[in-house]
Chains A and B, each alone.
Chain A
């Protein structure tokens, strides 16, 4: 039997073998060929049908005026009403802007830092130290935003916090960094980096653990330096993972998360702090307006879907393995 070579496998560290012509399997023949794999997948398919697809019929409440007591069926149809209300909101451009800026910061600053930290951890030779640091950097992930925000308040307390005093010393003025609109985004970014960078490395470290050590040995014999090894072996090895993570992240671009922003926003920085997630909380969820929040969720999902398919297509164009 001929090996089926995966043509999408451009991401493997080894120089890609010339793809063998793929033998076309059509229709029934393919099903027969893959019958056991298809059977293997049945529980998963059943799961998606039951717990992911079936509840979707409830998403029709986006087009209804849903009252829990009347039930999904019994509630009255209102068509695109909730969507119109969302998109025609005078604050919509501001919400979109704030959301995109925060998403961009996390994508272009926090995300690369995750990769850098993973690479640095990978370079540590003393395995006790490596494991210890790895465990330590995961800790912030487990602290809730409430804890993170109150620690931030402690560090930036006006006039008395260690970080605010330091910054005041640099600028020569006393500022309430927690209320200053100019400082909102840097603070959010700082918190995000602190809380999620360590945890984010975990996937890359898993990818790095799969790199064949023999390649490093061979590279050393060839006289490759550390940078060269990183550039030619390590990075290509985790490139598929980086690309997949990037694609998946673009799909989340409109989800900034609610709790962190809610807890960090106040009357004085609200102009830059309002994002879709807090807006939906105030207009929808807090009041039990499920139709409205479902409509917003649906709109966001469509944008996310388009972005994921778009970036996936782009990745394929550049001969990278996408998520499909």
Chain B
């Protein structure tokens, strides 16, 4: 693994090196023989890793279209013998599901925006080393990261604030994740100060600097945490359980959790003669819960790829 630390060029001779030594573009700069060999190995490796990540998901997908008998009798398959959409029909048939789906999408979108805005607004001032009170605030933030008061005290506060049976109860109690706050703050801190300073000399207001200098430069990290927050809200089943009495307001996870959790942690219910939820339905639930978040990803991904365009900001 030891990488040569020397700055002497180690490019092997040959046509490749000649090409590489020309003023290069993205596509030319690694075209050495070793470079190409690495590329091949790397691509093969990453494709393998990708497949490894994908296969189990495909199994779940196949299972969600299979009959109960097939799931019970065949250990692993990627294509169901008897194709059926019964599992999806039994999930999607109810109005409650459709309503919950819409609710969840809206709450997730609004919530992500609110949470990200609050986090960025707090992270930016904290990225200034000289800010009065910074150390105290950071200590508190770190403490709240390692210790949360627990379910019941938080419930009592949310209730006190009159947030019960309000969608804000799904958004505000988790509005600023201390972990996200710290990472975002550190990214802000790493930005070149000169840009901010020159904006200041041009007479820009702090909010304007945040909006027009800092945020554009931090798009990748903000997109990342948008995804984190969105996934957090999307997967949250505890908040709706605790804070929403009105079942018309419930989010998707309240229903999905019912199907997936009942078989694992409380399998041995000695009560009613109810068969556990069918495996196929559980698989379908996993798919329904996962696909929308996976689909959201490419939309955010374009912000990762570009990198920061310092030039354009300067201009």
Contact = CB atoms under 8 A, between A and B. Distances in A.
Interface in A167-212: 194, 198, 202-203, 205-207, 209-212
Given A3-B194, A144-B286, A244-B183, A40 B138 contact: no
Nearest to B124: A40
Nearest to A23: B130
Interface in A65-111: 68, 72
A199 B141 CA distance: 24
Given A8-B129, A157-B75, A305-B142, A44 B53 contact: no
B9 A223 contact: yes
Contacts of B20: 220
B162 interface: no
A246 interface: no
A51 to B, nearest CB: 5
A247 to B, nearest CB: 9
Given A37-B131, A58-B153, A323-B186, A3 B24 contact: no
Given A51-B154, A223-B9, A227-B4, A203 B224 contact: yes
Interface residues of A, number: 116
Contacts of A290: 150-152
Contacts of B66: none
B221 A210 contact: yes
A4 B193 contact: yes
A293 B4 CA distance: 51
Interface string A218-261: 00111111111011000000001100110010011000000000
Interface in A32-55: 34, 36-38, 40-41, 43-45, 47-48, 50-55
Given A4-B130, A135-B294, A210-B217, A154 B307 contact: no
A51 B173 contact: yes
Contact of A137 (B50, B133, B137): B50
B35 interface: yes
B176 A58 contact: no
A258 B99 CA distance: 32
Given A131-B301, A263-B264, A209 B146 contact: no
Contacts of B38: 123, 226
B173 A225 contact: no
A124 B122 contact: no
Chain B interface size, as a band, is 35 or more
Nearest to B261: A146
Contacts of A137: 49-50, 53
B154 to A, nearest CB: 5
Nearest to B217: A210
A57 interface: yes
A135 B57 CA distance: 13
B50 A3 contact: no
A205 to B, nearest CB: 6
Contacts of B56: 140, 143, 147-148, 151
Contact of A37 (B54, B124, B173, B223): B124
B122 A213 contact: no
A132 interface: yes
B142 A38 contact: no
Nearest to A211: B307
A89 to B, nearest CB: 21
Contacts of A8: 129, 189
Nearest to A255: B146
B18 interface: no
Most buried by A among B11, B27, B306: B11
A308 B194 CA distance: 31
B274 interface: no
Contact of B53 (A1, A47, A50, A136): A136
Given A123-B38, A228-B7, A240-B190, A47 B176 contact: yes
Interface stretch (B80-88, B103-111, B198-206, B244-252): B198-206
A36 B205 contact: yes
A225 B11 contact: yes
The 9 A-B pairs with the shortest beta carbon distances in the complex, nearest first, are A58-B153, A44-B122, A223-B9, A301-B147, A55-B149, A37-B125, A304-B146, A136-B50, A209-B220
15 contacts: A30-B131, A40-B124, A41-B126, A48-B144, A55-B156, A72-B153, A127-B305, A205-B220, A205-B304, A211-B307, A225-B9, A228-B6, A230-B3, A290-B150, A290-B152
Given A47-B175, A72-B156, 9 more contacts: A37-B206, A44-B119, A55-B156, A57-B149, A146-B263, A210-B221, A231-B5, A244-B182, A297-B150
Interface of A: 1, 3-9, 11-12, 22, 25, 27, 30-31, 34, 36-38, 40-41, 43-45, 47-48, 50-59, 61, 68, 72, 117, 120-121, 123-127, 129, 131-140, 142-144, 146-148, 151, 154, 157, 160, 194, 198, 202-203, 205-207, 209-213, 216-217, 220-228, 230-231, 240-241, 244-245, 248, 251-252, 262-263, 290, 293-294, 297-298, 300-301, 304-305, 308-309, 321, 323-324
